[in-house]
C-alpha cells in the first residue's frame, strides 16, 4: 500500500509528485510514455507561476527560456493589433520542461514508472486499486493527472466524455523569422493558431480547429492550404518556415466542458479537472497552480498516513472552484470572439483599446503565487 498514486506525468502530475515526496509522502507516478516526448500544447506559460517555480527550485534556468511580453492578434482576413502584456510569460517546450520536472521528481524520491498504462482505477474499502496490465497497485489516495482526454475518463463514466467534442488540435515546431518576445494568435475560419518561441531558436505553432472544417477539407494539409492560408499572416508562416516535425502532432475531440475536481474519490489536477480554451496561454499555468493547491491541501490533512477523506475532498473542491471556475467560464465566453471574420475583426478592434484588452486578458489570468 503506497500513500499516493498519480496517474499521468504531465505538469500537474509531476509537480504534485515532487511537492508531496518532498514532504515525506510515498508517491508512485504512472506515465504511459517515456520521457522526453512532445505533447500537443501551446507551450507558453504566464509569469504568474514564476515565483512559485523559483521558490521550489523548479524554474528551468538552464534552458534560457524565451521571455514574452508582447501580443499580436490577427483576424481571418489579416487585420491585426499589437499590445503589450502587463504580466507576460515565457516559452518552453513540453519536451524539455516535462523531462526537467521528471528528473526533479526522481531526485525527490518519487517512484516514477514510465511506459506503463493504467487500465482502471477502483475505490473499495477506503483505498484504491490501480489496475495495470500485469499487476494491481494499492494506494490510499489517487491523483488523476491524465490530461485532456483519457480512456480512464470513459472507465469513470465522466459526463463530458459522453458527448462528442467538435474540436481538434494540431501542433508543429518550426524555424522562422519572428520576434522572440511576442506571442501571436492568428484567426482562421473555425479556429485560431498560436505561435511563440520556445528554446533552441524554435517556435511552437499550435492551432485549434472545428472538426467540421477538417471534414470539409478532407485532410490536414488541404485544410491548411484552403482555410488557414486565407489569413495572410498564417500563409506567410507556412510558406516561409522550416518545419522541424516530419508530421504534426494531432489530438481529436478536445473538450472545454465542465469537469469535476473530484470524481469517484479521485483528486483531479490540471486538464483532468478542467481545461481552459487556449486563447491566452494559461493552460500550463493553471496546471501548475492546481498542483500547488492540491498537494498543499493533502499535506494539510495528512497526519502519519491518516486523513479525513471527506474533508480533504471538500476543501480541494472549494479551493479549485475559487481559483479556476470563473477563469474557465470566462474563456468559453471570450472564445466567441474568435474563428470567424466578423468576430475576429471585432476582437482586433477591441484589442486596440488597451483598457478593454487588458480587462479581457485579466478574466483568464491569475495573479502571481
Residue 272 lies in a domain: yes
216: cell is 470539409
**What pLDDT score was predicted for residue 361?**
85
List the CATH number of the domain containing 88. 3.50.50.60
Residue 198 lies in a domain: yes
pTM for this prediction: 0.96
Q: 3-state SS string over 315-364?
A: HHHHHHHHHHHHHHHHHHHHHHHCCCHHHHHHHHHHHCCHHHHHHHHHHH
Are the CB atoms for 340 and 76 separated by under 8 Å? yes
Residue 150 lies in a domain: yes
pLDDT in tens for each of the 369 residues of the chain? 999 999 999 999 999 999 999 999 999 999 999 999 999 999 999 999 999 999 999 999 998 899 999 999 999 999 999 999 989 999 999 999 999 999 999 999 999 999 999 999 999 999 999 999 999 999 999 999 999 989 999 999 999 998 888 899 999 999 999 999 999 999 999 999 999 999 999 999 999 999 999 999 999 999 999 999 999 999 999 999 999 999 999 999 888 989 999 999 999 999 999 999 887 668 999 999 999 999 999 999 999 999 999 999 999 999 999 999 999 999 999 999 999 999 999 999 999 998 998 898 888 888 999
Domain count, the chain: 1
Residue 369 lies in a domain: no
Domain range spanning residue 142? Answer: 2-364
Residue 155 lies in a domain: yes
Question: In DSSP terms, which residues pair with 185 in a beta bridge?
Answer: 73, 194
Residue 110 lies in a domain: yes
Are the CB atoms for 141 and 126 separated by under 8 Å? no
**What pLDDT score was predicted for residue 282?**
87
Amino acid at each position: 500500500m503506497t500513500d499516493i498514486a498519480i496517474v499521468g506525468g504531465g505538469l500537474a502530475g509531476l509537480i504534485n509528485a515532487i511537492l508531496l515526496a518532498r514532504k515525506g509522502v510515498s508517491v508512485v507516478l504512472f506515465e504511459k510514455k517515456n520521457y522526453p516526448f512532445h505533447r500537443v500544447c501551446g507551450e507558453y506559460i504566464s509569469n504568474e507561476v514564476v515565483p512559485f517555480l523559483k521558490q521550489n527550485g523548479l524554474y528551468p534556468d538552464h534552458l534560457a527560456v524565451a521571455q514574452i511580453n508582447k501580443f499580436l492578434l490577427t483576424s481571418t482576413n489579416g487585420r491585426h493589433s499589437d499590445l503589450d502584456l502587463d504580466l507576460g510569460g515565457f516559452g518552453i517546450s513540453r519536451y524539455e520542461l516535462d523531462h526537467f520536472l521528471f528528473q526533479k521528481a526522481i531526485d525527490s524520491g518519487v517512484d516514477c514508472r514510465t511506459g506503463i498504462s493504467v487500465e482502471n482505477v477502483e475505490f473499495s474499502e477506503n483505498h484504491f486499486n490501480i489496475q495495470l496490465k500485469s499487476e494491481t497497485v494499492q494506494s490510499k489516495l489517487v491523483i488523476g493527472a491524465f490530461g485532456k482526454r483519457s480512456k480512464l475518463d470513459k472507465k469513470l463514466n465522466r459526463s463530458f466524455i459522453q458527448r462528442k467534442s467538435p474540436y481538434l488540435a494540431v501542433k508543429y515546431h518550426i524555424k522562422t523569422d519572428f520576434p522572440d518576445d511576442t506571442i501571436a494568435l492568428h484567426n482562421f475560419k473555425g479556429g485560431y493558431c498560436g505561435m511563440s518561441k520556445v528554446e533552441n531558436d524554435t517556435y511552437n505553432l499550435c492551432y485549434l480547429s472545428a472538426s467540421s472544417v477538417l471534414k470539409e477539407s478532407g485532410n490536414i494539409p488541404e485544410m491548411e492550404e484552403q482555410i488557414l492560408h486565407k489569413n495572410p499572416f498564417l500563409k506567410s508562416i507556412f510558406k516561409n518556415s522550416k518545419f522541424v516535425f516530419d508530421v504534426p502532432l494531432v489530438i481529436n475531440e478536445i473538450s472545454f466542458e465542465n469537469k469535476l475536481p473530484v470524481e469517484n474519490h479521485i483528486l483531479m489536477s490540471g486538464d483532468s479537472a478542467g481545461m481552459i480554451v487556449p486563447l491566452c496561454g494559461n493552460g500550463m499555468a493553471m496546471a501548475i497552480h492546481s498542483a500547488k493547491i492540491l498537494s498543499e491541501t493533502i499535506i494539510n490533512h495528512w497526519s502519519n498516513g491518516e486523513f479525513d477523506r471527506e474533508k480533504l475532498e471538500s476543501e480541494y473542491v472549494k479551493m479549485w472552484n475559487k481559483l479556476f471556475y470563473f477563469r474557465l467560464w470566462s474563456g468559453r465566453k471570450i472564445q466567441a470572439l474568435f474563428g470567424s471574420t466578423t468576430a475576429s475583426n471585432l476582437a482586433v478592434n477591441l484589442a486596440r483599446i488597451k483598457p478593454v484588452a487588458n480587462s479581457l486578458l485579466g478574466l483568464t489570468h491569475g495573479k502571481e503565487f
